[in-house]
Amino acid sequence: MANKLFVGGLPWSATEDVLKTFFAQAGTVISANVIIDRFTGKSKGFGFVEMSTDAEAAEAVKKLNGAEMDGRKLIVNEARPKTESSGPGFDRSNRSGPRSGGSRDGFHSGNRNRRFN
């Protein structure tokens, strides 16, 4: 098990200090990050905690998964590795339009004069 954990179901009022303090009951916390929406500046309700050892991370999952924080039930599990994406919000390969090479009418035919029976 890796020592970086995903924490879901955070209360909207949770801060990084609150998260560090809460996870300290399972061991030494290296870092705690609450993910913030860049447009609103408010918490998205999840974050990441890095414990000092794999054993402490396993203990945190065992002890804190399902625990309540300010009336909300937490989801704590091993964080998955970050994957590369094509960018924020959409996939360019699925676009249709004059610059994408796709047709506007939804058909993928190169011959627009062809009749369909």
* pLDDT tens digits for range 12-62: 999 999 999 999 999 999 999 999 999 999 999 999 999 999 999 999 999
- Asked whether 78 and 48 are in contact (CB, 8 A), the reply is no
Distance between CA 70 and CA 23 in Å, rounded? 14
Across the range 7-16, mean pLDDT stands at 95
Decide if 47 contacts 33 (C-beta within 8 A).
Answer: yes
Interval 53-73 mean pLDDT: 96
Which of 2, 8, 19, 6 has its CA nearest to residue 79? 6
How sure is the predictor about 81, in pLDDT bands with cuts at 50, 70 and 90? confident
Phi, psi of 94 (to 5 degrees): -105, 10
Q: Which CATH architecture has domain 4-78?
A: 2-Layer Sandwich (3.30)
Mean pLDDT to the nearest integer, 64-82 = 94
pLDDT band at 2 (very low <50, low <70, confident <90, very high): confident
